[in-house]
Amino acid sequence: MVLSSCALVILLPLLVLTAMAVRAQDGGPALFRQQRIGRGGQVFDCLKFRSMTIDAEASLPDLVDAEWNAARKFRRDARVTHFGRVLRLSSLDELPQLLNVLRGEMSLVGPRPIVMDEATLYGRRLADYCAVRPGLTGLWQVSGRNDVPYPRRVAMDVWLVRNRTVRVYLTILARTIPAVLSRKGVY
């Protein structure tokens, strides 16, 4: 919470400018809120800068295909706005999650916060996931992001939960900046 507070203070001008730019593109809200599963199975609103069109959630059922079912993501998602692509490539869209960390819903490091539909993909491993707070960054995020197949993501999240140490935590934090700068697996 201390690191999150410090980061929010330091990044405040960037956060305000980003929010203004998101709103300016189409007049919609700057933040996107999506219910995710947190520690103990508690549901919380995960915050992001909105990188998609205003009606993106409503149009998803019409787009679901084999790629979505395998990766829970599209390589080329037509719903992503021009500025949204910039946000995603730079990972700036994730910065509002510092507020989730400050509120105690997330941690800086932990498993990727998942939506309800993904819980079935974790199967018996969901209990491991729910044992900790999801993280702003984590093992799969610094290991190739969306290029990592979904079953491997689950395995990485479980490994992280079962091997939590200060050293692992700090290693992942240190690997986050190079991972963001490399843009590997971002789409």
Contact 133, 39 (CB under 8 A): yes
Q: What is the pTM of this model?
A: 0.85
CB 19, CB 11: distance < 8 Å: no
Q: How far is CA 118 from CA 2, 73, 186, in A?
A: 30, 12, 19
> Which of the four pLDDT bands, split at 50, 70 and 90, describes residue 74?
low
Look at residues 139, 134, 137 and name the one whose alpha carbon lies nearest to residue 44: 134
173 phi, psi to nearest 5 deg: -60, -45
Q: What is the pLDDT of residues 22-51, one digit of tens each?
A: 999 989 999 999 999 999 999 999 999 999
Q: Which residue type does 87 have?
A: L
110 near 132, Cβ under 8 Å?
A: yes
